[in-house]
Structure 1
Amino acid sequence: MKRTKKVTIQDVARYANVSVGTIDRVIHNRGKVSHEKREKIEAAIKKLNFNPNMLARTLALGNQFTVCALVPAAPYAGHYWTMPLQGLELAAAQYKDYGIITEYFFYDLFDEQSFVRQTNQIEALEPNGVVLAPLFLQESKLFTEKLKSKGIPYVFIDADIPGSQSLSYIGPDVKQSAFIAGRLLHSLIPEKSEILIINMVKGFENASALRRMEKGFRGFFRESGLEQNKTIHSLTIHSTQKDEVFRELTKFYIKNPAVKGVFVTNSKAFLIAEFHRLHDLNIRLVGYDLVPENIEHLKNGTIDFVISQSPAQQGKRALQTLFNYFVWKKEPEKIQYVPLDIIIRENLGFYINFNRYLQNGIKNNQ
């Protein structure tokens, strides 16, 4: 027997071409709705055979939940951190009519004190929940201890803090993603080769995921019995400014001219690709995330593989997790890994179209 698909309030909103909030006002006979829209909504409810569920009924109680999202500021359009924000905004638009109020706070990727200032503001607000990208390890630990003492649940995205008492972690399996990067790079370079891991971060010791990432990358070669054939270097550059990155790369390659492959641990692989192109270096390159600059270098072949960590999905699922926790009293899984997609020139078009679809979805829901 074929099961009938459950009709949701979002289905009715789409059918009637109105917002979820307008549907709710009609269902509960509150607020002003034009006669034309009311008739349109009532017709849609009848046509789709929609029965308002308990969630829709509880909206009349006026419950509201404030969620503070603390993520790095994107310094320019198309930067990696625009993508988790897109996911957060998409979910915020979806749940705002259910009483979820989302407040956004941003910190500088290279300034721990900006992170601390924002956490102080969030503490003063005493929200119902927090979505946090804990890229500064020590500062994140201090902040989450305060949230715990106040009984405020928090969800991590992009990076995890092992042993923490977060409600959930939503993001990549960092060690496994780096293991995959090792396998990909190995497929591109000679059997006996030198490899370079590049971190671009203010302080390697305070970057919560980079140690596990490097461990995962080296783990591929160790577990595959390839360690003796590969010399793996590591270079941490305390900037993402092009001139500084190029200066550090120049110094490194002068001393280590035999490098055949590079793994970049963040979304800045395009900087390394540009350096290689300018200096006519035949070095294979693997990095993360489908930012516009990486797309261009995938197209021209100066980046070989990009591993996408579903950043928009991370933001969307984080807010969805808190919504389910507040409204449905649903305990989430402690770890929610997102898919890891391997992107090459040949499947690039699909992912570009997918991201465009996501952005349009956000605009239509706002």
Structure 2
Amino acid sequence: MSTKRKTTIQDLADYANVSIGTVDRVIHKRGKVSPDKQKKVEEAIKKLNFNPNLLARTLALGQQFVICSLFPGTTHPNSYWSLPKRGVTEAVVDYRDYGLECHAMEYSLFDELSFVEKADAIIDMNPDGVILAPLFEKESLLFIKKLDEKKIPYVFIDAVIPNQKNLSYIGPDLKGSGHVAGKLMSSMLNSFDDILILNFVKGLENSHINIIEKGFREFFSSSKDLGNGKINSVTVPSIEEADITRELTKYYIKNPETKGVFVTNSRAHIIAKYHAMHELPIKLIGFDMLEANILEMKNGNIDFLISQRPISQGAMAVKTLFEFFVQKKTPAKIRHVPLDIIIKENIDYHIKLQEPVNDKL
């Protein structure tokens, strides 16, 4: 009797290099699929000798898997956290026919209590899995303890808390991203130039941004590229443009020799507009391809952007939980996403890559 494992829809998706959702649309002849992907799926079905009638058994159709995401709230559609949220939403669409649904919870980056309230609401829901951005470390540890007690698997994205029982971490090497920013900054400045690190967070010591800043400082302390220049840090507990402008003005009055600024989140566009308005020749590095950052880079006001592929982070987290539930796959504990270095000359290429995640899961 043959013990060969039956071909699954995931096998077809992997072979054809498309999403599970695309395979499903081809099999059931519903929804729009490009001719190229249609051909790839049909070739995979033939090559792997797949029987569509086995679909229900191989993916345990009829089961329900409820996951919750807990991310910072989005202030507008083009804010950073709209991107991983988009990745989660689009990935869930691909898996919804197989009983997967997601409840999105949001907390304020400047209110730890909001995190606690939403975390407790998730515990009350008793979901099958959680996707968590643990940006408040102390509060996240309390939440994680409750998840562990209830044996609810969880995936970290964007930030990681070491030595936990998370199923996986999907996101950047935080300290490494700080190193990258340091190297980029050193390539633009003289060794005696002063640098400002700008953090927008409440409670730096309780935030993953602290790790990014440490990585930036460690680059210069290890490379000796700073020379006699100073690295100062300012933490602003707000993302309001008026608050940031006020703090920046006070700083520059006292520190007129500043030649470089590293923004440790996605708000570089606010600083870029300030520099342009006041005609300040200050080099600027920030994170992520938000529309506002893209515009300021094209205007010549941002020198480097470091992209952490936030859409992919959200999509990969959903896929990780789905495969864990259905296929009993145990993912790698740490899955670092590539850090893309964006400059004015290659930004259009990277914009084209920021397309829907469907068919890339």
Task: Report the AA paired with residue 311 of structure 2.
Answer: A
**1:1-366 equivalences in 2 (<5 Å):** 6=15, 10-11=22-23, 13-14=25-26, 18-19=30-31, 49=46, 51-52=50-51, 56-59=56-59, 62-207=62-207, 209-355=208-354, 357-358=355-356, 361=358
CA distance in 2 between counterparts of 1:278 and 1:289 reads 22
CA distance in 2 between counterparts of 1:228 and 1:67 reads 50
CA distance in 2 between counterparts of 1:80 and 1:265 reads 13
Q: Give CA-to-partner distance per residue, 1:189-241, whole Å, 9 cap, x none.
A: 1221100100011221221x122111110111122122433310001011111
CA distance in 2 between counterparts of 1:46 and 1:261 reads 54
Q: Identity over the aligned pairs, expressed in percent?
A: 46
- Structure 2 counterpart SS, 1:285: strand
CA distance in 2 between counterparts of 1:337 and 1:136 reads 20
CA distance in 1 between counterparts of 2:162 and 2:45 reads 46
Residues 17 and 80 from structure 1, CA distance in 2 versus in 1: closer, same or farther, beyond 3 angstroms?
farther
Check whether the contact 2:175–2:211 (CA below 8 A) recurs between aligned residues: yes
Check whether the contact 1:132–1:156 (CA below 8 A) recurs between aligned residues: yes
CA distance in 1 between counterparts of 2:169 and 2:282 reads 35
Residues 46 and 183 from structure 1, CA distance in 2 versus in 1: closer, same or farther, beyond 3 angstroms?
closer
Instruction: Give the deviation of 1:163 after TM superposition.
Output: 1.7
- Structure 2 counterpart SS, 1:245: helix
Which residue number in structure 2 is paired with residue 35 of structure 1? none
Check whether the contact 2:186–2:226 (CA below 8 A) recurs between aligned residues: no
User: How many residues were matched structurally?
Assistant: 335
Check whether the contact 1:59–1:99 (CA below 8 A) recurs between aligned residues: no
Instruction: Give the deviation of 1:16 after TM superposition.
Output: 6.5
- Structure 2 counterpart SS, 1:71: strand
Task: Report the AA paired with residue 10 of structure 1.
Answer: T
Residues 220 and 147 from structure 1, CA distance in 2 versus in 1: closer, same or farther, beyond 3 angstroms?
same
CA distance in 2 between counterparts of 1:55 and 1:210 reads 44
CA distance in 2 between counterparts of 1:45 and 1:283 reads 55
CA distance in 1 between counterparts of 2:189 and 2:236 reads 24
Report the more deviating stretch, 86-95 or 305-314. Answer: 86-95
Residues 56 and 6 from structure 1, CA distance in 2 versus in 1: closer, same or farther, beyond 3 angstroms?
farther
- Structure 1 counterpart SS, 2:114: helix
Residues 289 and 196 from structure 1, CA distance in 2 versus in 1: closer, same or farther, beyond 3 angstroms?
same
Check whether the contact 1:192–1:230 (CA below 8 A) recurs between aligned residues: yes
CA distance in 1 between counterparts of 2:238 and 2:160 reads 23
- Structure 2 counterpart SS, 1:196: strand
Q: Give CA-to-partner distance per residue, 1:230-272, whole Å, 9 cap, x none.
A: 3100010111111111110111111111000000000000111
- Structure 2 counterpart SS, 1:205: helix
TM-score (norm 2): 0.87
Instruction: Give the deviation of 1:285 after TM superposition.
Output: 0.2
Instruction: Give the deviation of 1:354 after TM superposition.
Output: 2.1
Instruction: Give the deviation of 1:136 after TM superposition.
Output: 1.1
Check whether the contact 2:192–2:226 (CA below 8 A) recurs between aligned residues: no
Task: Report the AA paired with residue 247 of structure 1.
Answer: R
Q: Give CA-to-partner distance per residue, 1:123-160, whole Å, 9 cap, x none.
A: 11101110001111111110010000110111000101
Instruction: Give the deviation of 1:14 after TM superposition.
Output: 4.3
CA distance in 2 between counterparts of 1:129 and 1:149 reads 13
Check whether the contact 1:324–1:330 (CA below 8 A) recurs between aligned residues: yes
Q: Give CA-to-partner distance per residue, 1:300-326, whole Å, 9 cap, x none.
A: 111000000000010001111111111
CA distance in 1 between counterparts of 2:265 and 2:171 reads 14
Residues 326 and 19 from structure 1, CA distance in 2 versus in 1: closer, same or farther, beyond 3 angstroms?
farther
- Structure 1 counterpart SS, 2:356: helix
Check whether the contact 1:12–1:45 (CA below 8 A) recurs between aligned residues: no
Report the more deviating stretch, 340-349 or 224-233. Answer: 224-233
Residues 75 and 197 from structure 1, CA distance in 2 versus in 1: closer, same or farther, beyond 3 angstroms?
same
| Gap regions ≥5 residues in structure 2 | 1-11, 33-37
Which residue number in structure 2 is paired with residue 23 of structure 1? none
Instruction: Give the deviation of 1:10 after TM superposition.
Output: 2.8
- Structure 1 counterpart SS, 2:322: helix
Task: Report the AA paired with residue 99 of structure 2.
Answer: G
Task: Report the AA paired with residue 268 of structure 2.
Answer: A
Task: Report the AA paired with residue 358 of structure 1.
Answer: P
| Gap regions ≥5 residues in structure 1 | 21-40
CA distance in 1 between counterparts of 2:314 and 2:222 reads 33
Structure (1/2) with the larger helix percentage: 1
Instruction: Give the deviation of 1:98 after TM superposition.
Output: 1.6
Check whether the contact 2:15–2:44 (CA below 8 A) recurs between aligned residues: no
- Structure 2 counterpart SS, 1:345: coil
- Structure 2 counterpart SS, 1:228: coil
Check whether the contact 2:59–2:326 (CA below 8 A) recurs between aligned residues: no
CA distance in 1 between counterparts of 2:44 and 2:247 reads 65
